[in-house]
Amino acid sequence: MIIQLEPQITTDQLAGLEEQLTKIKYSVNPVKTQYANYLVGVGKTDFDIRSIGTLPGIKDIHRVSDAYKLVSKKWRVDNTVIDLGDGIRIGEGSPAMMVGPCSIESEEQVALTIEHMKKNGIRIMRGGVYKPRSSPYSFRGLGIDGLKMWHEQTREAGIKIITEVMMVDQIEEMHDYVDVFQVGARNSQNFNLLDALGEVDRPVLLKRGISGTIDELLASAEYIFSNGNERIMLCERGIRSYETAYRNTFDINALVMLKEKTHLPVIADPSHGIGVRRFVDKIALASAVAGADGIIMEVHHEPEKAFSDGQQTLSFGQAEKLYQQLKRMEWLQE
């Protein structure tokens, strides 16, 4: 069960509530987030929920049978909306485009991308400064100095940054230069990292693991929420299967299933989802039809010369055609 506590609950009321939960053999797990205080009760005893719900100090109480509880839609009727400030919102009727290169490469590249974004009314820029690469000899990012340069340019343009964090030790140095922390597929079950991001008041975009199930993705999100951070987005980016005709198997089913199971915004990543440039726009359009709250994809002024993932990156011209299609669908605002 999930119990949302009244802000003014007294110490005695809280102690009495915990005592009642212990009597019915439920473990008590306090959770304090940036928005509310909760008790998550876990147990198997059948009981009348009114015997708990009528106790003083309780604002709301819900039964949640899922292994993941705080991210479940069974207790929160209203879907979560992520507010990045400056009028930028993600979720519940406010779909968002997040575009940019796979890797941040230079000041010129950032400036050209910002110009492209401003021209098309897009205000969230993706990019990597720490890159988890399959080969140790591939370009692995500009690091914190590249992030600071990128941040300086985007702040002047009124654009928000989403970028990947790979280790707990990176969070503090990156914090002031990042608007959304991204957890990549390879770290989807890095529970130390998820715990640490739960203690940070920055939104987190959590990607599905390379071979991860939907329930495993939701369980990973539960780690972040239960450590205090409710500002989470989930990202379908394709999973590894036996198919070799494209990079990953993009699971369009996951978008609708996640919308059914969780109140968190659901984002689609068509670039990694298929990994073939000429098909990325089609997967993006399908994601919009399936109800995605956002699309994160790779664009570059010269994809053929990109330091990484050029084969799945759209040119500015290709991206602009997609934006127009999304606007005609009324998914993306003019």
Q: Is residue 85 classed exposed, middle or buried when 0-12, 13-18 and 19+ CB atoms within 10 A define those classes?
A: exposed
**Do residues 71 and 265 lie in contact, with contact meaning Cβ atoms separated by under 8 Å?**
no
pLDDT at 141: 80
Of 229, 233, 166, 169, the C-alpha closest to 201 is: 229
Task: Spell out, as residue ranges, where the chain has pLDDT lower than 70.
Answer: 132-134, 137-139
Query: b/e per residue, 19-58, with b = 16+ CB within 10 A?
Result: ebbeeeebebeebebeeebbbbbeeeeeeeeeebeebebb
pLDDT reported for residue 149: 96
CB-CB contact of 149 with 110 (8 Å): yes
H/E element holding 235? Answer: strand 232-236
pLDDT of 136: 72
Tell me which residue of 250, 306, 319, 265 sits closest to 131, measured CA to CA. 306
Contacts of 292 (CB under 8 A, 6+ apart): 95, 255, 266, 267, 268
DSSP run (H or E) holding 253: helix 252-261
Which among 24, 29, 33 has a CA at the least distance from the CA of 200? Answer: 33
Q: Which of 68, 92, 80 is closest to 221 using CA atoms?
A: 68
Q: Are 32 and 226 in contact (CB under 8 A)?
A: no
Residue 225 to residue 222: CA distance in whole angstroms = 5
How far is Cα 204 from Cα 230, in angstroms, rounded to an integer? Answer: 9
Residue 55: predicted pLDDT? 92
Q: In angstroms, rounded to a whole number, what is the distance separating the alpha carbons of residues 124 and 159? A: 6
C-alpha distances out from residue 163 to 53, 124, 172, 202, 282, Å: 42, 10, 14, 12, 24
Which one-letter DSSP state was computed for residue 72?
B
